């Protein structure tokens, strides 16, 4: 799939060699699938997906309104800071 989707960056890490990264992203199961957009984790799930589901997921991830995502993150952060979350 990485060859089919030139606008998507695919990466993997060796969690034994990169324990700090694995800890930071709370990776507890191998494999763990994560999707980032604009340096924000928009999807994280342990386990693999069939190719068709993975392609659908990538399409939906690409369609997300990142302005709205950032607004929701800011609201959640404000609610936590206020003690309302």
Contact in structure between 69 and 60 (CB atoms under 8 Å):
no
Residue 43 lies in a domain: yes
Residue 61 lies in a domain: yes
Does position 84 have pLDDT exceeding 70, yes or no? no
- The whole-number pLDDT of residue 4 equals 86
- CATH assignment of the domain containing 35: 3.40.30.10
Residue 14 lies in a domain: no
With 0.85 as the threshold, say if the pTM is over it: no
Structural domain of residue 66, as residue ranges? 19-82
Residue 44 lies in a domain: yes
Q: How many independent structural domains does the chain possess?
A: 1
Residue 78 belongs to what H/E stretch?
helix 66-82
Residue 63 lies in a domain: yes
Tell me which residue of 31, 64, 60 sits closest to 46, measured CA to CA.
31
Q: What is the pLDDT of residues 10-44, one digit of tens each?
A: 999 999 999 999 999 999 999 999 999 999 999 99
Residue 51 lies in a domain: yes
SS3 at position 6: coil
Does position 72 have pLDDT exceeding 90, yes or no? yes
pLDDT confidence bin for 2, thresholds 50/70/90:
confident
């Amino acid at each position: 799939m990485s060859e089919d989707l030139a606008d998507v960056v695919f990466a993997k890490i060796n969690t034994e060699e990169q324990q700090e990264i694995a800890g930071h992203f709370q990776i507890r199961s191998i494999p763990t699938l994560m999707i980032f957009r604009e340096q924000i984790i928009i999807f994280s799930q342990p386990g693999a997906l069939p190719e068709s589901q993975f392609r659908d997921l990538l399409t939906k991830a690409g369609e997300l309104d990142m302005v709205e995502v950032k607004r929701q993150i800011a609201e959640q952060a404000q609610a936590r800071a206020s003690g309302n979350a």
